A and B are shown apart, each in its own frame.
Chain A
């Protein structure tokens, strides 16, 4: 007996569909799914765990695969067995990295074609630099970012997508980021826009900016002086 497959969509379903026929109706779910959009890869590589995610251009992630291992901890001890224990540990690390990379390639490459636009590897361990040697099949920019264990990787991913994603959106994003560093007073976020209504020169409300800053971002230009040039407060 074939067990029914339950699919939980990433976005809300609006229409009820019942179909009984020769084929499954997949289009409504595929549209909702991130798979129809540009995809990015995210690998969270810790010392003993590796999680492989697939992400849309808006940073929604799906867990594709996982790999974990148990490492020998006492490689510095063991008397005459010290070398043997160290060697076993190295072998375990080697096989862990190799099989993690194989899982990543299986998730991101199909028929020799790379499905993702970029791959971000995050994690606290040094292994993330070693794993790159095994990811030659992925023909996309690969970036490594340090991250403490338990920290969310979402902001890192959003920044990564901003650099490799839609040109116009990423330009806007860079501008806002730049202003945020140089003149944060010039920016108004979300609810502040209502209060500053008269002063707002331009509002950026692309999906990327909304997700990164939690709402639209406006640039304030204040009272014009007699010469007509705009001045910031």
Chain B
């Protein structure tokens, strides 16, 4: 949390937060997939690239997981530090 708080102090656009209760991992993956399609329509080039790459990396990590933990999960991503 300290790292995230420190990151929040720096200037950046296209930060993604997903806080999800426990449930179907497939639903979460499909949600992120849909958001990725939506993100492709963002007008600003830099913002679009940041958000798309964030969602892509989240999607990649989610596909490695077996299930969402019992207490739920919070995912934070940004394009660069």
Contacts and interface: CB of A to CB of B under 8 A. Distances in A.
Nearest to B53: A1
B67 to A, nearest CB: 12
B19 A2 contact: no
A2 B8 contact: no
Interface size class, chain A: 20 to 34
B74 A29 contact: yes
A181 interface: no
Nearest to A110: B2
A26 B16 contact: no
Contacts of B11: 22
A36 to B, nearest CB: 10
A13 B18 contact: no
B4 A16 contact: no
Contact of B1 (A2, A12, A19, A26): A26
A15 B22 CA distance: 10
B15 to A, nearest CB: 5
A2 B71 contact: no
B22 A12 contact: yes
A30 interface: yes
The dominant DSSP class at the A interface is: loop
A13 B19 contact: yes
Contacts of B70: 12
Contact of B58 (A4, A29, A33, A35): A4
Nearest to A4: B77
The dominant DSSP class at the B interface is: mixed
Given A12-B72, A20-B51, A7 B15 contact: no
A13 B5 contact: no
A5 interface: yes
Contacts of B24: none
Residue from the set B22, B61, B71, B81 with the largest chain A CB neighbour count within 10 Å: B71
A169 B8 CA distance: 37
A12 B76 CA distance: 18
B71 A7 contact: no
A128 B15 CA distance: 44
Interface of A: 1-26, 28-30, 33, 35
Given A7-B4, A12-B71, A15-B19, 8 more contacts: A2-B79, A2-B80, A5-B3, A5-B77, A15-B21, A18-B35, A24-B15, A29-B19
15 contacts: A1-B80, A2-B77, A4-B57, A4-B61, A5-B77, A6-B75, A7-B76, A8-B71, A9-B72, A11-B71, A13-B21, A18-B17, A21-B15, A23-B8, A25-B19
